[in-house]
Structure 1
Amino acid sequence: IGILHQEKIQLLVLEGANVDIILGRPWLVKHDPILSWGTGEIIKWGKGCVTDCFPEIPRPVQKPLPVFTTSVESPIEKRSVQIPKIYSSYKDVFCPKRASQLPPHRPWDCAIDLVPDAPMPRGKIYPLSLPETKAMEEYIHEALSQGYIRPSTSPAASSFFFVAKKDGGLRPCIDYRIINQGTIKFRYPLPLVPAALEQLRSARIFTKLDLRSAYNLVRIREGDEWKTAFVTPTGHYEYLVMPYGLVNAPSVFQNFIHEVLREFLHKFVVVYIDDILIYSRSEAEHHHHVAEVLQRLRDHQLYLKAEKCSFHLSSVQFLGYIIDQQGVRMDERKVSAVVSWPEPTTIKELQKFLGFSNFYRRFIHSYSNITAPLTTLLRGKPKTLLWTPEAAAAFQSLKSAFTQAPLLTHPDPDLPFVVEVDASTTGVGAILSQHHGDPPLLHPCAYFSRKLNPAERNYDIGNRELLAIKLALEEWRHWLEGAKFPFQVITDHKNLQYLRNAKRLCPRQARWSLFFSRFQFSITYRPGPKNIRADALSRMHDHPETSETPVNIIPEHIIINPIEWSAPPVVATPEPRPPPGCPPGRQFVPRTQRIALIHSTHTSLGTGHPGANNTLTLLSERFWWPAMARDVRQYVQGCKECAMSKSPRHLPAGKLHPLPVPNRPWSHLGVDFMTDLPSSDGNTCILVIIDRFSKFCRLIPLKGLPTALETAEILFNHVFRYYGIPEDIVSDRGPQFISRVWRSFFRLLGVTISLSSGYHPQTNGQTERKIQEVGRFLRTFCHGHQDSWNQFLGWAEYAQNSLRQPTTGLTPFQCVLGFQPPLFPWNGEPSEVPAVDYWFRESERVWDAAHHHLQRAVRRSKSIADQRRIQGPAYAPGQKVWLSTRDIRLRLPSRKLSPRFVGPFTILEQVNPVTFKLQLPPQYRIHPTFHVSLLKPFHPPLIPSTEPGHEEEPPPPLLLEDGSIYSVKEILQSRCCGGQLQYLVDWEGYGPEERSWVPRADILDPTLLEDFHTSHPEFPAPRGRGRPPRRQ
């Protein structure tokens, strides 16, 4: 009777009967089945059948297959496992001995990448009982013999302990919590269970395979084994295979098994970690599918646990569900567990029950409404459980609903769908159905329900019904969007039939309407009494306490004292007849007066230049016009006062753009000066030179800051003659490094000069970091006698070059010299000198390893840095931007009250993805190249600067090289006064009343002088132009 239901009964033989068996009323009373009278099928069995009539494992199809016997070793017993004879050629795939061998390295090895400065576990050794000690010794001995673990000297040491299995055995566990906290997460997705089940439609025969010691089939990436180390009372060990407990283990294994079986996925294979389900439409097809999978597993040295494999089933238990040709149902053993679940007495027990039942919510009518009294008990994270009569009733109702859950049919894309929705004051519900059978009857494919939040409970009934449709379409979008046939939405709210033809929609409905336009469906009205199925999802099990008054979303104290301001007289008189769409109680503003109203509201002393949202809120209290939010946003974006005065609140712009990774030592250098040191043996500064490949540094003491030519000679004498001429040198924009001598010197040598962008020293970050480390060393050893730092400088250089670099995994000495010099003199016997070719091969190997580690470190640094940054705006040459004043000295008394940005300035070119060159006035005397984080877009103001009350403020002067710099707009006249040439100038940003005479030396822009004297040859000019100045 069915595939799962089995029993033995005594029957009487009747002659002349035209049916096989007749079951009377006593049988029906005993089993209490739920029948479908339309199809003549049994949908659900009674409670007693769960424990009396269902076997532990689903039986195979009625036609048995030939089998062969293989023996599976177990610590307790030996038992035979039957495998179909047709697969006898794959007997090695089920071999336990081969499965216990150390697997090979593959591209999918488990990597354990740690964040910088990740803490190391210092494991505690737990005391073990005698049985645990024996189990531990057996486990360590077996793992060592298999090659799964090895003795370790790792700095990491996670704890080792046991937990009990369901069968009373002991499972070894390792506490990897600290390692997991510092591990960079691998986000490979696990399959969605509902989506996986939907692949099984039209399948008739199934085979389920289980991998033996699944995680142990994957190796730990070479070099990462030390991170898996653990301690036991008998020693310190580390894994060579992937152990259980690592945070990335499920994602790594899912990625691995997906790559192995990729060409079979979504065709006839579903994989969830180590569970493999093969499904087919016919037996012959199934034989071929299973053979293909077994061959693929053999090719990749993956082995199966025969005792947990099931072949050629017409009904299979997979991922907690029972699946057959008809559809998906709940596992009866899980149902039995829910039915016998005792009433919770603690918060933890209630959470455990809800978590267990939530797994099957897609089978339960009105799940969210049924559980509402239970979830209410968890609000506010209480410490004790206050069990109520309503909660007790909901608990029993949920258990009853589990025993009545229907069979869910597989969705068929070749049939039209029907979506039934309904909404109540507490929740929404929906049913996805299709017509099956002859005559066609509506069968459910899935249920959906959700509680309404406080804001949604304030919706009127029409918007709640509309919300139910929106949530249902979102839940089943993968089936309904782009469906082969238009689907039908059934609701008991008649007005929704006219939604698509409505001429006026509220903003919420307009937003939802855009979402609905992606689907092809029609809305059908069905009165509430006839819409019983969906109505049950939203109204069934309503409880008195859920009927509550509308919730005030905005706290009262926020709206007690609204800010008031005076409206301009032009909008003080309301329009005689407001246009359609104007909300009641708000005044319509004509198009010609909108900008003036925004301006008066935004710039008022009572409002203080608020942001776009706050400006819109102030206006919306009394006024309205179409596209009001867009106009306010555009105005605030173009407000110059806001652009110059407000600091950005977003993350710094510009993703990390790391320097290229060198291929050999001393090909790419970084240089900088360490200054402001006390005199030591006559030296007051240090030239720091670092090799960006090996991190090898040279520290050269100097009497004072050298000139550009002296700096070049120092580099040649201390670096180039030993290590060769480099390809690139990175430096800041110090005077030595931007001079013409420096550029000419290295241009002749063929060396590229790279300068950091303006006010962004991170470009030369390696040298800046090395200066910090050297300063820390000198402070440590000579803080009491600061004039003795020169004596320790050599040791500082030796110490820096002896330290292992996390980016390369080697010390600078090892990268450059090929070996690590000892800290103390070597006292052993001299060893044989290695061959020269061996030295070169070893050096090349060291360089390759260092290059590999450098590239990995750069990728990791970029990934971490980009988590604290956002993508910079897409700037283009010709676009105007504001420039941050963060690193510019302004001629203003207080930095806190100074503008945050100046400009706008035009972009001339994009130097690299995160650096731009600006067109600055010549008198600014700062380098025009800036990092994108120091820029922000310029938006033209909506109100021209010539309007009254909106005069543009003069720009603040720059303080550069201890002098005030003002921008000259135009030279008007020249004269000689006291033998000195003077010019009458018009200042940028100031009126005619501010014109003044200034000396020739104060005019810094030669272009202005050239243009003036060319246009006005009659005025006095400098002597260099061929004639003496004339007196006026």
Structure 2
Amino acid sequence: MPGIDPNFICHKLSIIPGSKPVAQRKRKVSAEKAAAIEEKVAELLRAGFIREIDYTDWLANTVLVKKPNGKWRMCVDYTDLNKVCPKDQYPLPVIDKLVDSSAGYKLLSFMDAYSGYNKIPMFPADQDKTAFITDKATYCYNVMPFGLKNAGATYQRMMNKVFQGMIGRNMEVYIDDIIAKSRQGIEANPDKCKAILEMRSPANLKEVQQLTGRVAALSRFLSQAARKALPWYQLLRKNKEFLWDEHYEQAFVQLKEYLSSPPVLHSPLPGENLILYMSVAEAAVSSVLVREDSGIEAPVYFVSRALQGPELRYQKLEKLAYCLVTSARRLRQYFQAHRILVRTAQPLRQVLHKPDLAGRMVSWSVELSEFDITYEPRKAMKSQALADFITEFTDIPSDISQNLWSVYVDGSSNKKGAGAGVIIENPEGLCMEYSLKFEFQTSNNQEEYEAVLAGLKMVHEFGAERVSVFSDSQLVVSQIKGQYSAKEPILQKYLEEPSNCK
């Protein structure tokens, strides 16, 4: 069978120097399997893919795997050989990018290269290292076999060379799978949707696991997938007797209703701005990446993640920031290639860009700094597919009658130093906590004033118009209200600033 010219490409093992060869002991197989092995060996000999070998330091056993049609597939156990071969870092295509680049075409032709790996010759000096044993003899491969580490990288390297100039234009290649495309959106696999739509209500934990696995496979098309599947994940976590009650059944029915007409996703154009909407629930965060065309917003990708452990205790604004970070990690290929417009009604930009951030927020801010992200106020959404993202915080009552911010302050001092704590709460109930340390000597009243001024400056940066300040210092509160007069000159200076914010 003809193959690739070895001068064009061949597969080299590049074994780590000093590695000790391993010759596996021959394993016993049944008569049925032995016959299947000899039949496959004869076929490989006729094709010229293998040859008999007499002496070898490396030796592996054959492994038979049954195909769906009942026939046997012969593989070779190269576990020991693969352990001493360093990983080839040649980049493989990103599946999501291949899907996007195939969107918008009316005809797609799917092809699979027949015996593709066996078209690439083995480097002559490495052929004897591929040796394997059967009941009758030992053989080695003249061509690249399945099961070798880095075989996929070698094959992708060859395909990129062969189809250079065509990949991305009228075809896409992932190792030995090829798509020829001839110029509609990205639709969910109807077979995967059908598998859930026709699925009966789970009767045991194994069937719940099967359901969550099918949901995960469609997560790109599912708005708030983690929130929809959260009841079933919680059921799997509980070490209790299985009980499928009305709560789980209702979530199952709602999922089927959604999948009866799943959204069609769209592929973004190179260089265009993309929009990110986020939604935060008590135990899950979700986002949708959107492209805008002629005033119509069309979804590109849905991202969702169930919160676990300490994440459940994040403040609501922290959860929103975490949602942005999660989206950037999952959709890195989009964040790197496009400007991302984050549409939010929350002061997310001000929080992430504050110089006095600490802990995880500062690490998230640094992580996001590599991307071109801008923030803008939310607008009315015009897509039914984005209905789940109309509100950012699904567990917060939407009836907020007053646009009132609250600032809680408390100062303290001792021989070691002085400081203060500030908690800011926005009208939606989001809380932000800050700690202040003073590098100068202060009295208790001065610390309280410093905390008040710091809190007022922060809410001013957030665009607050109405603010209530809460302090446990009766003197400071009474002086700001004008009920007490400030006799000390230093306190009079403090009083001049907050008096303008009453």
TM-score by length of 2: 0.68
The verdict on how the C-alpha distance between 1:580 and 1:586 changes in structure 2, with shifts beyond 3 A counting, is: closer
Where does residue 211 of structure 1 map in the other structure? Answer: 113
Corresponding residue for residue 410 of structure 1: 267
Task: Give the Å deviation of 1:442.
Answer: 1.8
Q: Counterpart in 1 of 2:372?
A: 519
Structure 1, residues 843-864: CA drift from partner, whole Å, max 9, x if none? xxxxxxxxxxxxxxxxxxxxxx
Change (3 A) 1:182 1:413: closer
Shift of 1:332: 1.5
Confirm or deny that 1:162 pairs with 2:64: yes
Aligned to 2:144: 242
**Is it true that 1:472 corresponds to 2:327 in the alignment?**
yes
After TM superposition, the structure 1 = structure 2 runs for residues 109-120 of structure 1, keeping only pairs within 5 Å, are 109-115=10-16, 116-120=19-23
Hey, what does 1:423 align to over in structure 2?
280
Question: What corresponds to 2:218 in structure 1?
Answer: 360
Q: Note the C-alpha offset of 1:328.
A: 0.7
The one-letter code matched in structure 1 to 2:102 is: L
Matched to 2:66, the amino acid is A
Which residue of structure 2 lines up, in the alignment, with residue 276 of structure 1?
Answer: 178
CA contact (8 A) 1:210 1:275 kept: yes
- In structure 1, the partner of 2:453 is none
1:223-302 matched pairs, under 5 angstroms: 223-281=125-183
Matched position secondary structure for 2:187: strand
Q: What's 1:572 paired with? A: 415
Q: Shift in Å at residue 423 of structure 1?
A: 1.0
Partner of 2:487: none
Distance 2:393 2:143 in 1: 51
Shift of 1:276: 1.7
Residue from 139, 148, 155 that aligns with 2:49? 148
| Distance apart, 1:193 and its partner CA | 0.6
Pick closer, same or farther for the CA change 1:201–1:222 going to 2, 3 Å: same
Partner SS, residue 165 of structure 2: helix
Give distance in 2, aligned partners of 1:173 and 1:346: 35
Shift of 1:481: 4.8
Do structure 1's residue 124 and structure 2's residue 45 form an aligned pair?
no
The answer as to whether partners of 2:22 and 2:59 remain within 8 angstroms in 1 is no
Counterpart Cα distance in 2 of 1:118 and 1:156: 5
Inter-CA distance 217–461: structure 2 relative to 1 (3 Å threshold): same
- Which amino acid letter does the alignment assign opposite residue 292 of structure 2? H
Structure 1 contact 269–277 (Cα < 8 Å) conserved: yes
Shift of 1:214: 0.8
Pairs within 5 Å for 1:956-971: none
Does the Cα contact within 8 Å between 1:158 and 1:231 map onto a contact in 2?
yes
Report if the CA contact (8 A) 1:211-1:275 is conserved.
yes
Q: Which residue of 2 aligns with 1:489?
A: 342
Partner of 2:190: 332
1:108 aligns with 2:9: yes
Alpha-carbon distance in 2 for matches of 1:108, 1:327 = 37
2:6 maps to amino acid: H
Question: Which residues in structure 2 correspond to 1:999-1014 (within 5 Å)?
Answer: none
Q: Distance in 2 between matches of 1:190 and 1:243?
A: 19
Judged with a 3 Å threshold, the aligned counterparts in structure 2 of structure 1 residues 128 and 479 are, in CA distance, closer, same or farther, namely same
CA contact (8 A) 2:185 2:264 kept: yes
Contact conserved, 1:109 with 1:218, CA < 8 A, in 2? yes
Alignment of 1:371 with 2:274, yes or no, is no
One-letter amino acid of the structure 2 residue matched with residue 124 of structure 1: R
Distance (whole Å) between structure 1 residues aligned to residue 74 and residue 435 of structure 2: 71
159 and 421 in structure 1: CA distance in 2 versus 1, 3 angstrom threshold: same
1:222 aligns with 2:65: no
Q: 1:237 to 1:394 in 2, by over 3 A?
A: farther
| Corresponding residue to 1:139 among 37, 40, 58 | 40
Q: 1:432 aligns to what?
A: 289
Distance 1:362 1:457 in 2: 23
Aligned mates of 2:277, 2:161 — CA distance in 1: 40
497-506 or 245-254, which moves further after superposition?
Answer: 497-506
Shift of 1:120: 2.9
How far residue 148 of structure 1 moved from its aligned partner, in angstroms, is: 0.9
Q: Please give the secondary structure, in 2, of the residue aligned with 1:334.
A: helix
Structure 2 distance, partners of 1:363, 1:126, is 46
Q: 1:441 to 1:156 in 2, by over 3 A?
A: same
Q: Which amino acid aligns with 2:165?
A: E
Give, in angstroms, the shift of residue 189 of structure 1.
3.1
Alignment of 1:666-681 (within 5 A): none
**Equivalent position amino acid for 1:424 in 2:** A
The separation in 1 between residues aligned to 2:275 and 2:129, in whole angstroms, is 54
Q: 1:800-839 alignment to 2 at 5 Å? A: none
Distance 1:103 1:481, change over 3 A: closer
Q: Secondary structure at the match of 1:245?
A: coil
Structure-2 change in CA distance of 1:128 and 1:352 (3 Å):
farther
Q: Structure 1's 187 and 348: CA in aligned 2 closer, same or farther, altered over 3 A?
A: farther
CA root-mean-square deviation = 4.0
Q: 1:673-731 CA distances to partner (integer Å, 9 max, x unpaired)?
A: xxxxxxxxxxxxxxxxxxxxxxxxxxxxxxxxxxxxxxxxxxxxxxxxxxxxxxxxxxx
TM-aligned CA deviation for residue 512 of structure 1: 4.2
Give the deviation of 1:340 after TM superposition.
3.5
Which residue number in structure 2 is paired with residue 457 of structure 1? 312
Q: Is the 8 A contact 1:430 1:537 kept in 2?
A: no
- Taking the aligned partners of 2:421 and 2:213, their CA distance within structure 1 comes to 51
Following superposition, the deviation at residue 197 of structure 1 comes to 1.9
**Contact 1:449–1:538 at 8 Å: present in 2 too?**
no
Structure 1 counterpart SS, 2:292 = strand
Unaligned runs of 5+ in 2: 396-412, 424-432, 442-502
Distance of 1:584 and 1:201 partners within structure 2: 47
Shift of 1:279: 3.0
The one-character-per-residue Cα deviations of 1:330-357 (angstroms, maximum 9, x if unpaired) are 2212322333446667766655554444
SS at match of 2:26: coil
For the residues of structure 2 that align with 1:178 and 1:573, how far apart are their CA atoms?
62
Provide closer, same or farther for how the CA distance between residues 156 and 356 of structure 1 changes in structure 2, counting only shifts above 3 A.
farther
Higher relative contact order (CA 8 A, sep 6+): 2
How far 1:525 moved relative to its partner?
A: 3.9
Structure 2 Cα separation of the partners of residues 460 and 397 of structure 1: 29
Cα pair distance change 1:123/1:371, threshold 3 Å: farther
Aligned to 1:301: none
Rounded to whole Å, the distance in 1 between the matches of 2:21 and 2:318 is 51
CA distance in 1, matches of 2:195, 2:436: 60
Cα pair 2:279 2:286 within 8 Å, conserved: yes
Contact (CA 8 Å) 2:421, 2:435: kept in 1 or not?
no
C-alpha spacing 1:234/1:217, structure 2 compared with 1 (3 Å): same
- Show CA shifts across 1:78-101 (max 9, x none): xxxxxxxxxxxxxxxxxxxxxx34
Contact 2:220 2:303 in 1 (8 A): yes
Write the mapping of 1:15-54 to structure 2, written as runs, cut at 5 A. Answer: none
Larger radius of gyration: 1
Cα distance change of structure 1 residues 513 and 142 upon mapping to structure 2, 3 Å threshold: closer
Task: Name the SS of the counterpart of 1:445 in structure 2.
Answer: strand
Q: What is the SS of the residue equivalent to 1:444?
A: strand
- Aligned residues: percent identity? 23
User: How far did 1:253 drift?
Assistant: 1.5
Q: CA deviation at 1:419?
A: 1.6
C-alpha separation in 2, matches of 1:345 and 1:147? 52
Residues 377, 573 of structure 1: CA spacing in aligned structure 2 closer, same or farther, 3 A cutoff? closer
What letter matches 2:229 in structure 1? T
Give me the whole-angstrom Cα distance separating, in 2, the residues matched to 1:346 and 1:461: 35
- Secondary structure in 1 matching 2:286: strand
